[in-house]
């Protein structure tokens, strides 16, 4: 979809207030797009326009909130040329002690929230015969690591959803891409919550403490989120987007490759060893 000298393309973006969604919103605004930026925290700044775009309150776990965002964004800029779905949360903990509410909360934000947003925007894209949907998955959508079970489950669901969706919408001129980020310095400690009963589980405690220290270290030393935002903008400008785009460090690319070629038990041993060997 080429840009026009008389019309700015429109982006609807979820999860725009923090993490990689914030970096993407900034990058699209900087590149000259109209950005309808959605986030729960924008309830206090509705109507503000800044480096992230035009603020519209959005809770992707609520049908009414998604409908309200859609109506406001449509009235403001018209139908989206690009839908960027970044909203997500993470709850760390052993699967044994997750509450069902914690699992539902992660799935409802990271997966069902994406489905709600697509269902709201897709009819508008079909009607005009074009559109690009960019869904944020993760390297964890391709492989699992300890104590991120709820998040990994949600991201695996995102992978399957987008594969099916891409085949369904292709005849209507709509493209779908999965962004699979590795670790980025995205302020994720703000939403890296621990399961409520994680600290109570003596059986898992030493392992859990060690693994979460590795996760924290890897995120703090991760890639630049602003560069990721710029890459997503460039990707959106391609005539034909790929189904998948992994944006990760060389060792994370290697982990995905090993996951494909190694027997499952051997790969699990490699990953377990990585998290065991780190000491604070």
Instruction: Encode the chain (280 residues) as per-residue pLDDT tens digits.
Output: 444 446 799 999 999 999 999 999 999 999 999 999 999 999 999 999 999 999 999 999 999 999 999 999 999 999 999 999 999 999 999 999 999 999 999 999 999 999 999 999 999 999 999 999 999 999 999 999 999 999 999 999 999 999 999 999 999 999 999 999 999 987 555 556 788 788 777 888 888 888 988 988 888 888 899 999 999 999 999 999 999 999 999 999 999 999 999 999 999 999 988 887 554 4
**CA quadruple 76, 78, 81, 83: dihedral sign:** positive
Instruction: Kindly report the number of other CB atoms within 10 A of residue 257's CB atom.
Output: 10
Transcribe 238-266 into DSSP letters.
Answer: SSS--SEEEE--HHHHHHHHHHHHS-HHH
Between the CA of residue 12 and those of 27, 48, 213, 262, 269, what are the distances in Å?
13, 15, 35, 39, 41
Catalytic residue (choose from 151, 191, 274, 278): 151
**In this structure, what is the dihedral angle of CA atoms 103, 90, 113, 16, given to the nearest 10 degrees?**
160
CB 85 within 8 A of CB 136: yes
* H helix runs in 141-185, sequence order: 149-169
pTM: 0.92
- In the residue annotation, 274 being an active-site residue is answered as no
Question: Span 10-249: which CATH code?
Answer: 3.40.50.720
Q: Dihedral of the CA atoms 154, 90, 53, 48 (nearest 10)?
A: 130
User: Residue 55: which of 75, 67, 72 has the closest Cα?
Assistant: 72
């Amino acid at each position: 979809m080429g840009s026009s000298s008389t019309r700015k393309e429109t982006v609807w973006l979820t999860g725009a207030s923090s993490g990689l969604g914030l970096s993407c919103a900034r990058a699209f605004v900087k590149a000259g797009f109209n950005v309808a930026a959605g986030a729960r925290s924008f309830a206090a700044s509705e109507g503000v326009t800044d480096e992230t775009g035009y603020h519209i309150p959005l809770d992707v776990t609520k049908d009414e909130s998604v409908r309200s965002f859609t109506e406001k964004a449509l009235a403001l800029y018209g139908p989206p040329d690009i839908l960027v779905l970044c909203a997500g949360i993470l709850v760390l903990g052993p699967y044994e002690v997750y509450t069902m509410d914690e699992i539902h909360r992660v799935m409802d934000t990271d997966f069902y929230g994406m489905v709600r947003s697509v269902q709201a925007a897709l009819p508008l894209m079909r009607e005009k015969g074009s559109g690009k949907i960019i869904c944020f998955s993760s390297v964890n959508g391709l492989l699992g690591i300890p104590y991120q079970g709820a998040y990994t489950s949600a991201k695996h669901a995102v992978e399957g959803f987008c594969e099916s969706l891409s085949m369904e919408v292709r005849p209507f001129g709509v493209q779908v891409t999965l962004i699979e980020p590795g670790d980025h310095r995205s302020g994720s400690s703000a939403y890296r919550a621990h399961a409520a009963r994680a600290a109570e589980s003596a059986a898992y405690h030493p392992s859990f403490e060690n693994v979460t220290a590795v996760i924290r270290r890897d995120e703090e030393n991760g890639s630049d989120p602003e560069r990721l935002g710029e890459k997503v903008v460039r990707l959106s400008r391609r005539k034909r987007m790929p189904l998948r785009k992994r944006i990760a460090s060389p060792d994370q690319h290697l982990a995905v490759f090993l996951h494909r070629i190694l027997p499952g038990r051997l790969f699990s041993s490699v990953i377990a060893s990585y998290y065991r060997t780190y000491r604070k």
